[in-house]
Structure 1
Amino acid sequence: MASLPILTIIEKCPVSPPPATVGNKSLQLTFLDVLWLKFIPVHTLFFFDLPITKTHFTQTIVPKLKNSLSVTLQHFFPFVGKLVLFPTNITRMPEIRYIEGDSVSVTFAECNLDFDDLSGNHPRKCDKFYHLIPSLGNTCKVDDYITMPVFSVQVTLFPNCGISIGMTNHHSLCDASTRFCFLKAWTTIASHGSDETFLANGTLPVFDRVVKYPKLDESYLKNAKVETINEDYQLPRLSGPTDKVRATFILARTVLGGLKQLVSTQLPTIAYVSSFTVACAYIWSCMAKLHNKNELALFGFAIDCRSRMDPPIPSAYFGNCLVSCMATAKTNVITEKEGFVIAAKLIGENLQKMLTDKKGVVQDIVPLADRFPNGMPTIMTIGVTGTPKLKFYDLDFGFGKPKKHETVSIDFHGSISMSASKESNEDLEIGMCLSATQMDAFIRIFNDGLKEYLV
């Protein structure tokens, strides 16, 4: 007997802003966007407890999400535009261009996987999540330029259990801060049925290109090698089967407090110890023990530099406005007994140096290729995506706040995700993707370490 399909498509449709509300527009990228041109797409997934039938889903939820998305897009036109690249004119900056009639691809589907299993914290098979994530669509050649879609949505029903809303965006479109502003607008409009409340109380995006560093634009565009992109170009796509599993770890406020106290006691001269710093340091030291090799280890994370530019730029600035901060150490240094504290010192010092540099954060921004002219060394690399400052668990489309938030794109490169927890904004929620064997070992290392440090 043939098994039932995991995913059944109910409807696939284009969603555009209301007619004549936007007009033809374009938004030129800056070097902070060009940095992400060939980077992996961002896959975000929300689960909502919503025990409804397929009939209720198609008659109520589907039209509500379509209509509210359409209204939202008129205020955030780049989400419905296309990335435009100029391979034959390598000095021309890429742009996101909206032409009247452009649309976002939205898929509505039904899934027979276990909703409670997928929305848990325990280790779950990574490839199950790939059914819930939309692709961006194909690259297209038009005259002398190339276009790519930058945003897509998939809403999936788990009958009588809940729904998931999966989103994919090209990273050159925006960073997490802009994406959160977009989602805040969409959820507000969906909850109230119009954009009146959003316009009265929300924040409209700032499209002015206030980040002006022509030399950096030129340098980053050169490193992007846009001339190699043609109509066959595809961004990386997640696909299974895979032996990887994903799990979520919660570092509660009391645990974070204990870790901060430990660092402050052993490093009394350290300027400031944050929850983010000790969380990163603890994960870094645990991952080093997991690899159990004496090699170079790099830990990197992004800093939103809107408020740190000189002069500062608006918090609602649309696009990417991130700079990277990195710490390096030999793994044997951060796996010894005091390894966690050393890791916290290294991360804290690099963070403090960047944030207090009087010359501004931009002076240290150089393409990764320039940092490692001979290629990336063979090292254990961990990166953090997300930030605890954005409260994704507060988003509500009108049918309750999310049961679970997942950053599925960490599956690409072994990064970790970090966000404020559902239970408390002072707790941290950390998502990880590892092979099943590595995950079992990491869970043991993670739990044993907390017992040792917080006795």
Structure 2
Amino acid sequence: MVEVTVFPNSGFTICLTFNHVVGDGKSLHHFIKFWASLCKARGDLDPFETTLSLPSHERTRLKDPKGLKLLYSQAIEITEPKITEFVGLRFRFSVVLSRELIDKLKNWVSFKCGTHDSGALHISTFVITCSLIWVCMVGSEESEQYSDQLCYLVFPADSRDRPEFSLTSTYFGNCLTICMAAMKRSEIVGENGIVAAANAIEREIRDFKSDALKKVENWVSDYRERVKPGKSRLFIAGSPKLGVYQTDFGWGKPKKCEAAHIESSASISLCDCRDEKEGIQVGLALERVQMNKFVNILEQKLHNIDKF
């Protein structure tokens, strides 16, 4: 569904909703960019003038060596959509991490890893961003901080071009692997929480790269366990690689891009930045008290790292 809201003498918004059964974020933004290219060219787009490849709809190429289609169809219940209850006022805001700050965070974690013998660690922009935000989010929660309660970070991984699936990078559909990092709350809020979180997230990424179908039979049961009431979990939506600010309908870059479904402390969104090259925009929605705690913790963490 597409909804356009006009703000007189100011601008307008384009809001899109889609179902993950049809396609994932990469599929959606490929469609949006193609649509935008046609609009920018006023409908006269030459196939050879665009850098975008046509999407592939060849689902017959998808391999299913573990019989997941039958497994998931039996495990997932089909239920009627539920009306979402109002859970309280949330403040939607964004945190922008510049390229300079990200590099400083990477150097700081690399130094800490060497100091604490954490072993070789590939510190990507994704890993360092998620580590920082996860630590600040857990610290802002109303809970006994130094406990052995497990906290979970759940993030998707694009599985196109993986040999386990035999799909091209232009495949239009839903092709994501779910990765879940787990840590004790006391470790996350501890002195070396960011370093420990980076190790946990990187470990999940390494497991995915070695075998994208690892533990795939347990995805549904693991997910249900993670979302039980009282569990601390943080879901990551989106990716800077989607290039949402590179979409141009003919009037330039969007002023602001947001994931409207981010409406609780259980999820955040990631995307590229409009004006900060190679920066990261993090979208959040928190109650005022937790928002203030989150911002205070974030500022303190960055202040400590800035002294490095």
User: Which residue of 266, 282, 305 maps to 1:430?
Assistant: 282
CA RMSD of aligned residues (A): 2.1
* Cα distance, 1:309 vs structure 2: 3.3
Return the alpha-carbon distance in structure 1 between the equivalents of residues 285 and 47 of structure 2. Answer: 36
**Which structure 2 residues correspond to residues 258-297 of structure 1 after superposition, within 5 A?**
258-268=104-114, 269-291=119-141, 292-293=143-144, 294=147, 295-297=149-151
Unaligned runs of at least 5 residues, structure 1:
1-151
Quote the residue 1:419 is aligned against.
271
Quote the residue 1:93 is aligned against.
none
Alignment-mate amino acid for residue 318 of structure 1: F
Q: SS in structure 2 opposite 1:370?
A: helix
Return the alpha-carbon distance in structure 1 between the equivalents of residues 150 and 185 of structure 2. Answer: 6
Measured against aligned partners, the alpha-carbon deviations of 1:430-455 in whole angstroms (never above 9, x if no partner) come to: 00111111111111111111001221
Find out whether 1:154 has 2:3 as its counterpart.
yes
* Cα distance, 1:411 vs structure 2: 1.1
Quote the residue 2:197 is aligned against.
343
Alignment-mate amino acid for residue 101 of structure 2: V
Q: SS in structure 2 opposite 1:300?
A: strand
Whether the 8 Å contact between 2:264 and 2:285 is mirrored in structure 1 is no
Alignment-mate amino acid for residue 246 of structure 1: R
Quote the residue 2:100 is aligned against.
254
**Which structure 2 residues correspond to residues 31-430 of structure 1 after superposition, within 5 A?**
152-194=1-43, 196-198=45-47, 200-201=49-50, 202-209=52-59, 210-213=61-64, 215-226=67-78, 229=79, 233-234=80-81, 242-268=88-114, 269-291=119-141, 292-293=143-144, 294=147, 295-310=149-164, 312-355=166-209, 357=210, 360-371=211-222, 376=227, 378-411=230-263, 414-430=266-282
Residues 221 and 195 of structure 1: CA distance in aligned 2, closer, same or farther (over 3 Å): farther
* Cα distance, 1:375 vs structure 2: 7.5
Measured against aligned partners, the alpha-carbon deviations of 1:96-153 in whole angstroms (never above 9, x if no partner) come to: xxxxxxxxxxxxxxxxxxxxxxxxxxxxxxxxxxxxxxxxxxxxxxxxxxxxxxxx01
Alignment-mate amino acid for residue 250 of structure 1: V
Whether the 8 Å contact between 2:102 and 2:125 is mirrored in structure 1 is yes
Return the alpha-carbon distance in structure 1 between the equivalents of residues 53 and 44 of structure 2. Answer: 12
Quote the residue 1:73 is aligned against.
none
Residues 340 and 176 of structure 1: CA distance in aligned 2, closer, same or farther (over 3 Å): same
Return the alpha-carbon distance in structure 2 between the equivalents of residues 330 and 289 of structure 1. Answer: 12
Larger Cα-atom Rg: 1
Q: SS in structure 1 opposite 2:235?
A: strand
Return the alpha-carbon distance in structure 2 between the equivalents of residues 371 and 195 of structure 1. Answer: 49
* Cα distance, 1:390 vs structure 2: 1.2
Return the alpha-carbon distance in structure 2 between the equivalents of residues 370 and 376 of structure 1. Answer: 10
User: TM-score, with normalisation over the residues of structure 1?
Assistant: 0.61
Q: SS in structure 2 opposite 1:361?
A: coil
Measured against aligned partners, the alpha-carbon deviations of 1:276-305 in whole angstroms (never above 9, x if no partner) come to: 101100111111211242222101110001
Whether the 8 Å contact between 2:160 and 2:169 is mirrored in structure 1 is yes
Return the alpha-carbon distance in structure 2 between the equivalents of residues 410 and 385 of structure 1. Answer: 8
Measured against aligned partners, the alpha-carbon deviations of 1:6-31 in whole angstroms (never above 9, x if no partner) come to: xxxxxxxxxxxxxxxxxxxxxxxxxx
* Cα distance, 1:374 vs structure 2: 6.7
Whether the 8 Å contact between 1:251 and 1:427 is mirrored in structure 2 is yes
Return the alpha-carbon distance in structure 1 between the equivalents of residues 260 and 111 of structure 2. Answer: 37
* Cα distance, 1:189 vs structure 2: 0.6
Unaligned runs of at least 5 residues, structure 2:
none
Whether the 8 Å contact between 1:414 and 1:434 is mirrored in structure 2 is no
Return the alpha-carbon distance in structure 1 between the equivalents of residues 224 and 40 of structure 2. Answer: 50
Q: Would you tell me which structure has more strand in proportion to its own residues?
A: 1
Q: SS in structure 1 opposite 2:40?
A: helix
Q: SS in structure 1 opposite 2:199?
A: helix
* Cα distance, 1:366 vs structure 2: 2.8
* Cα distance, 1:371 vs structure 2: 2.7
Count of residues paired in the alignment = 295
Return the alpha-carbon distance in structure 1 between the equivalents of residues 21 and 27 of structure 2. Answer: 11
Alignment-mate amino acid for residue 325 of structure 1: C
Residues 449 and 158 of structure 1: CA distance in aligned 2, closer, same or farther (over 3 Å): same
